[in-house]
Every structure is written in structure tokens, then in C-alpha cells.
Structure 1
């Protein structure tokens, strides 16, 4: 296998970032002027995200009053296939994306870059493996079967997106991999024994350059060059950009919103990916059952303007990885989780040419039927005049699509 050394360079703030980003309106500062936490700066969030202590009683009351029936997953048969990763770093012109469940995608870029987004391979996305949301869809492969990883991108600190044991194993197996995180998370990674971590603010860029190291065994008896070595490029470069989304963060009741949530753009080998991670789009009020919150009487609900900014200033993208699940009841979760109708609007505004749905099909986090997101996605695409297949799709867990 070809080994690479890597260098990360943070860039100066670009001239074309929105004024709100220049003013850091998403930072909440203490009396000493230092950032103490973060916030969603737009009316589309409907105010500060509720803390876990406030959210818990709301969810509990909604459940016991029948407003949040838990879906039955006993008969759910999510298709799972064994991943088909490239054998080596070829010079293919295709962008290859493999869904590993929930928000985790393994993306192979033309030119050889390999990026892993939001890896969580545990059975439960919780502080402990004794209780919490349990997988109803297994991972398509163990983490040990992944090809060498160059970059790991983390959207935020919630347990279904950031796993302590998964990132530790990744760092152990890929000691030169670089981890990219939002502001405030670097300290957590370093305390976990991971040194190759770069934290960024919204609209901040970093360049990643990989250089192939000499193979000490090449040409020696019994050490024939592998296909990976033979086809591996000498240098691989990428531009990685931290971008806004509308969400929250925290792993305990004490660290609510003290680390930054983000979406991300990765450009390498002439191809680009926008990773939505986990995000809301609009805050929807409590409505009678069956009322369409995209009906004309709700056109005035504020929409998050940051996705249009992303599309205008950093788009277009060859592929968007856009969340479509964990949205019901809407009045409770819409500020932080997009439903498929929101996802289609985000897709259009970020100027993604193609997209794949993420954030569904793995854990029961909210009360919609677990197989509803793909059905609702087709409806939303049809409503927007977009073909139901071939543009914004879903796939089997473990399946690879080329773009």
C-alpha cells in the first residue's frame, strides 16, 4: 500500500464570505469577549435551541400523550450490501460515494483522495452501549475493512455523528489521517489521543496536501509493487471548507452548544462534495394532523438563508449528501432536522448537481415510519418538478454510486 504524509494549511478568510460570518454572529461571547458557545443566527431556527434538560420533558410528554408513537422496526428490511471499494488509488475520473449508514459516507475522489464523513460504527448512538437508540440496520462492513483513510470530517458532536471508539480506531488504523472539526471540538479530539485535528469556523478554508512516501520494500525479494503503489499519484491535494448549517451540539447536559455544528465542502481531483451533516431549514409551528406546512399559508415561515449563500459562494457541487430523516413531529424537530421537502429546497439552494439522502435508515431517533423518508422524498421531488430518480436518490447501505 502507498503511504502518504500530509500537511494541513489554514487559509486566510476569503473576501467573499457573508457579512454575518465576518461579524461572527453565530458566536456567543462572554464578558471577557471570548466565545463561550454558538447559536443559529437566523429567524428560521426560531430562537436558541432548547437544552437537553428542556428537550427531554417535551419529548417525554409528547410520547405519553400519543403525539410521538414509536415506529415498529421488527419487520423493516433495509437492504444492506457489501461495499465495493476501489482496490487502489486510481486515476478514475468518477467520484465514488459509498453509504455506510445514517450520515456516514466514504467518498473516493478522482486523483486518489479518500474522505470519511461522520463515522459511527457502534450498535448504539449513545454515551454507553447499555442503552440508547439501537441499530436496526447493521453496518455493511466493520471499520477494519475500510481502505486507508486520508481525511475524516465531523459535522458536530451528537452521538449519532461522533463516536469516541470509532474515531479512536480510525486514528489507530490511519495514524496520518487528518480530522476536520468545527470550533471547540479540537480539545475533545486531543483528549481522546488524536493529534492530527484541525478545527475551523464557518466559511473558513483549509488546504490538505498528501505526498507519497518512499516504499522501503519496493524492489526487494518478496515485495513486489502492489497495484495501489503502481497507480498511486505522488501528490494529492484538497480544499476543505467549513460551512454553516442550522442545528445544535452537545454530548452532556453541561456542554450544550459549546462546540460548533457545521456542513462541509470538499473539493479534490476536479470534483466537489457538499456534506450537509445534520441540519434544519425552517421552524414549523404545531399544526393539525394532515396540514401541509409547505402550503401557501405557510410561505412566510422564515427559511435559513445560509444554504443559498453556500450555493452562490461555494457551489455548484457535483454531489450533495443531504439529510432526509428524523423529523417527526415537525413542531418539535423541524428547527434542527430537515424533512424530505426541506431537503429538496436545500438541494436546490446549495446548487448540487446530484444528491444522496442521509440521516435515515439506521437508528430510530424520531417517530416517523422509518421507511417514510424515501417515499416522501419522491413526493417532494415531484412537487418541485425534479425527476423522482437519477437526481436526488437513496441507496442500499453499503452501495456505491459514481458521479
Structure 2
């Protein structure tokens, strides 16, 4: 296991030495089939014109409001799910956040694109100063420029996969705050260990930057506590390698949502999400990447129903906290089927 090899710099870094970087682009371990123009147009057509009404809630989603005082008073090893893939962790008295998106839409435009089902349980400006931001990749539902820039002044560290840190620096995040990691590289901050682990996905924020930056999942290790954050990924054999090297994990935050047979290689079906949890040797699973944005054709509540049934049938402990509700990482409680109130 190597330590972090790349610190941010004002100039774009050369990542040709990375095993994931070939011919100027980052690649998955096993190449995924290209979408192609015809298939891409068909996907857009279906998403625009054939989307069922059930992809958005019929009534407002219940959210547990949070205050800065509540967060500061929370015990160590607390988790607060803020929506989609944004999770706030309190470890060793400090706060870490994954893929923070507080924008109204997961889109390059704030007048069109997937709109939030619910407001964040706490306003961005009410968050306490953060020890760090953990980013999995650069898609708009995971990397929001306005959110990052608002956090930059009061956040000490930004941990990113290769290339994503260059984007942050170009936006104005101080270079000394940015660490960029390749798969299996790690870094330590105040006794916590962070390992950038493989994922099967892709990247891009425009028409001409496809796979110009890397994507990853993350292992976070706090002495005897280990948690896994999947980021976005299709199912692949890398999960078993992660489990063998770094497991078992006490809690996994596992992508379960925005799936579709039309894009099987970059997002997991719930059956695959559960298998990924088992592969990394997870104990308790928390499904994420759901419940906030309309990003697929399935009913918005379907990921929760399917993963709940699957986990029950396999005897896997599942936790589904209300948005904003505290979860004790040492003794996770199952939570309620809150999505049924608005399904």
C-alpha cells in the first residue's frame, strides 16, 4: 500500500505514470463497452420523454432538521446522511463530508436538470468547519462547484482521486489543501487513514473531458472502526480485492440507486449492491445514491424496497436513517421505512 503520491499544484499534473491512465485518459480495470452516439441519443430520448411519474415523490419527503449545535454536541463516530451520496461523519472530534452537493439541481445549470426532492437538513453556511471533504469523482451529483467553493475557506483538507484535485485548484481551492490519490494509495490525517480504492465508473463534466479524471471508492479507518464509501460504480471483482486487503468494514455506504439495464456497467442493480457489500466484507449496509435526485427510470422509492427485501432474505443488517437523522456507527440502528410515507 503506497502513501499519497500527489499534492495539488497550480499546474495540471501529469498522471501518465498511473496504471489507470492510458493514452491520455483514465480507464477501468476491465474496459466497459462504449455507449456510442446512437445509444446515447436513445438514452436521452427515453429520459426526456418516457420517464414515469413515479420517479419523483408524490408528497414531500420527511427530513430531520439539523443545527450546528446538534452536530457539535454529537458524540464521536456519528453519521448524518444529508442526501444522495452526501454523508457527514464525526470522527475524533472533527467533521468529514463525502461528495457534498447542496445545489438545487445536479446539473451544470440551475434552471434545468435533476431537481432535489428535499432541502438539505442543514444549510451549507450552518455546517461547522470541516476537517475534510472526500470526493469520489467529478459528476455533477457528486461534485458541486458552489458547494466546494463555499466550504473551501473553512475546510482543511480535500481528498480526491487523480485529476479531480486539479479541478478544485482551478476553481480557487488552495493547492496546499488538496491531496490527489490513485487507487490503493493512502494518506493519514490526525490519526485517520484514508485509502482510495478502485471503482468501475467514468468521469466528465462537459463534452470534451471524458475520463480526464479518475474515479474511486474510499476506505476510512479509525483504529478499530472501518467504513467503506462506494462512490459510484458498477459491480466488478475489485470489491473482493478491497475486502481482502482492507476488510472487514463495520458499515458500508453502498450505491443503491440510479440504476437501469441501459447502463449496467456503471451503476449497480440492488442485487449487485448487496453482493458488493458482502464482497468487501461489510457488516452493516447503508444504501446511498438515492432519495434525493431523479436520475433514472425506476420509481424513486424502488431502491429502498428492493434492497430491504434482499438484505432481509440474506440476513444482512440494513440501516436506512431518515435524511438528517443521526446514526451511531458503533451501534447502528435499522431505522424506519420512511420512504413509504411518500411513495
TM score, norm. by length of structure 2: 0.85
**Secondary structure at the counterpart of residue 393 of structure 1:** coil
- The residue aligned with 1:313 is 245
Asked whether 1:376 is paired with 2:302, we answer no
Corresponding residue for residue 193 of structure 2:
239
Residue 55 of structure 1: CA displacement? 5.5
Distance in 2, matches of 1:77 and 1:197, equals 37
Alignment deviations for residues 331-355 of structure 1 (CA, whole Å, 9 cap, x no partner): x122111122111101101112212
Within-5 A mapping of 1:3-402: 10-11=3-4, 25-28=19-22, 30=23, 36-42=24-30, 47-50=32-35, 56-63=40-47, 66=50, 68-69=51-52, 71-73=54-56, 75-83=58-66, 85-87=70-72, 92=75, 95-109=77-91, 111-172=92-153, 174-175=154-155, 177-195=156-174, 196-209=177-190, 237-281=191-235, 304-328=236-260, 330=261, 332-383=262-313, 385-387=314-316, 391-402=317-328
Please tell me whether the aligned partners of residues 52 and 299 of structure 2 are also in contact (alpha carbons under 8 angstroms).
Answer: no
CA distance in 2, matches of 1:156, 1:347: 20
Matched-pair contact (CA < 8 Å) for 2:162–2:182: yes
Question: What is the CA–CA distance in structure 2 between the aligned matches of 1:325 and 1:190, rounded to whole Å?
Answer: 30
2:165–2:178 CA contact under 8 A, matched in 1: yes
Q: Is the 8 Å Cα contact of residues 83 and 98 (structure 1) preserved in structure 2? A: no
How far apart, in 1, do the equivalents of 2:218 and 2:55 lie? 33
Unpaired runs of 5+ in structure 2? 7-16, 330-343
Secondary structure of the corresponding residue to residue 367 of structure 1: coil
Give unpaired runs (5+ residues) of structure 1: 1-8, 14-22, 31-35, 210-236, 282-303
CA drift of 1:61 comes to: 4.0
1:71–1:364 contact (8 Å) kept in structure 2: no
Change (3 A) 1:54 1:24: farther
Length-normalised TM-score, structure 1: 0.73
Q: Secondary structure at the match of 1:71?
A: helix
2:340 is matched with which residue? none
Name the CA shift for 1:198/1:24 in 2 (closer, same or farther; >3 Å): closer
Distance 1:254 1:12 in 2: 27
Separation in 2 of the partners of 1:367 and 1:204?
36
Q: For 1:108 and 1:246, how far apart are their aligned partners in 2?
A: 28
Residues 128 and 61 of structure 1, relative CA distance in 2, 3 Å threshold: closer
Query: Measured at CA, do residues 340 and 149 of structure 1 come closer, stay the same or move farther in structure 2, by a change above 3 Å?
Result: same
**Aligned pairs, number:** 314
CA distance in 1, matches of 2:34, 2:248: 30
User: What is the CA-CA distance between 1:117 and the residue it aligns to?
Assistant: 0.2
Between the aligned partners of 1:116 and 1:379, the Cα distance in structure 2 is 29
Q: Residues 49, 245 of structure 1: CA spacing in aligned structure 2 closer, same or farther, 3 A cutoff?
A: farther
Deviations 1:67-102 (A, max 9, x none): x535352514422111364425x8x5x521100000
